[in-house]
Structure 1
Amino acid sequence: MGAPDRLNALPLSTAAPAERGDAARNRALLLDAARKLIAERGADAVSMDDVAAEAGVGKGTLFRRFGSRSGLMIVLLDEDEVIEQQAFMFGPPPLGPGAPPLERLLAYGRSRLKFVHVHRALLSDAARDPHTRFNAPATLHHTHVRILLETAGTTGDLDAQADALTALLDADRVAHEMTERGRTLEQLGDAWETVARKLCGT
């Protein structure tokens, strides 16, 4: 199986299967309630009790729908994740196919940094749970970076190198660099580019 086929074989998101009736209505109510509360308070200040109360459903219903608080956070990210994934898998170059692998890798890093900055609270929350930290979207992102390294002719342990690059995109790290060290997204993108170029031998 070639590199593009390996990537295409991975699931694009954690989206739930189609639902009908009360289950679908409850799910929509809960997601709308969570989005509203997060917009008002920030993700860190929103509990499962808050979401259930805002949606007007029992807390047990919330846990049955999403499994955990981190599971809820991942679902909230899903729509934007799918848009981003479609862009780097099928969109125009340099982020999408058609550009040299190193150019795509550099474009991916800068694009993902912007995404992480916008969704920092949700990504940080989800990363605290091993079941959501290493879920299907995370695997897709790691595989994408690994494939670009491979097609750029990088040698050595590609998984370790992909891990090193994706670590630069960790939500808590990005927030720390920006709030505590005063670095900009542009500077973080430049740092990503430096590491990516060294791994690709340029």
Structure 2
Amino acid sequence: MSERKRRADAARNREAVLAAADALFARCESPRAVTMADIAAAAGVGKATLFRGFGDRTGLIHALYEMRLAPIRLAAEGGEPPLAPGTSPIRRVSALLDAVLCFKLDNRHLALALEGTGGDSPYEVGHYAEWHSTLQSALEQIPGLTDAGFTAHALLAATRADLVEHLVGQQRMTREQMRVHLADFTTRVLASPRPLE
């Protein structure tokens, strides 16, 4: 078999695996229920193909998450307002949080699976540092805000996947209700008076 054919097969297998994993996470009851064997069977490949291509289940989840996250990352790095860096800082912060929330609403089980790969802490997962850094940079542009790092952590806590799952799955909150509540919360946090030194 030629090298070109091997690469084409590997690319086709990767696409099939990601599509199968995406579908399984989208309709599962719990992300823990989705196994590598399930994904391999749904993709029509052997488990060895999964391990060669992704290393382990965590690597596969990361790859799937990155694929889903790419459009939001591009928008945040230089897309149209309100996500673009040239937008007013408060509007950009609100838009960034809304984008994170919508992403987690659209990918609830995948987000839960990814945040569960950080061991005891979802803050150890690579994408968290990226979101935090982007949000902190926008917060640092707001005059009078002296605690941008902590504020970024506190605001991102409102978009944690387990909280989103609880509010949507248990409390039956709608997408629009969640977006409105997060926007209101963000506005209150950023508009609140700073304590005197």
- TM-score with structure 1 length normalisation? 0.77
Looking at structure 1, the residues matched to 194 and 88 of structure 2 have their Cα atoms a distance apart, in angstroms, of 12
Deviating 4+ runs (over 6 angstroms) = none
2:167 to 177, 181, 184: 177
Looking at structure 2, the residues matched to 64 and 119 of structure 1 have their Cα atoms a distance apart, in angstroms, of 25
2:16 is aligned to 29
Larger Rg computed on CA atoms? 2
1:37-94, Cα deviation, whole Å (9 max, x unpaired): 3345456242111111222322132123222323222222223311111112211222
- TM-score with structure 2 length normalisation? 0.78
1:155-197, Cα deviation, whole Å (9 max, x unpaired): 13x3222211111111111221233334422223322332243
Looking at structure 1, the residues matched to 44 and 192 of structure 2 have their Cα atoms a distance apart, in angstroms, of 53
2:113 is aligned to 125
Looking at structure 2, the residues matched to 200 and 90 of structure 1 have their Cα atoms a distance apart, in angstroms, of 31
How far did residue 142 of structure 1 move? 0.8
> Aligned AA for 1:56?
G
2:183 to 170, 186, 189: 189
> Aligned AA for 1:62?
L
- Report if aligned partners of 1:168, 1:192 keep a CA contact under 8 Å in 2: no
Q: Secondary structure at the match of 2:146?
A: coil
2:146 to 133, 155, 159: 155
Q: 1:114 to 1:40 in 2, by over 3 A?
A: closer
Looking at structure 2, the residues matched to 88 and 71 of structure 1 have their Cα atoms a distance apart, in angstroms, of 24
Aligned length: 182
For residues 58-137 of structure 1, the aligned pairs below 5 Å read: 58-130=46-118, 134-137=124-127
Q: Secondary structure at the match of 2:63?
A: helix
Q: 1:187 to 1:145 in 2, by over 3 A?
A: same
Looking at structure 2, the residues matched to 28 and 98 of structure 1 have their Cα atoms a distance apart, in angstroms, of 35
Identity fraction in percent: 34
2:37 matches 1:49:
yes
> Aligned AA for 2:11?
A
Point out where structure 2 has 5 or more consecutive residues left out of the alignment: 1-5
- Report if aligned partners of 1:73, 1:125 keep a CA contact under 8 Å in 2: yes
2:127 matches 1:140:
no
- Report if aligned partners of 2:65, 2:114 keep a CA contact under 8 Å in 1: no
- Report if aligned partners of 2:25, 2:109 keep a CA contact under 8 Å in 1: no
1:101-160, Cα deviation, whole Å (9 max, x unpaired): 11111122222211111111101101111288644433221111111111113213x322
Q: CA RMSD in A?
A: 2.6
Q: 1:115 to 1:195 in 2, by over 3 A?
A: same
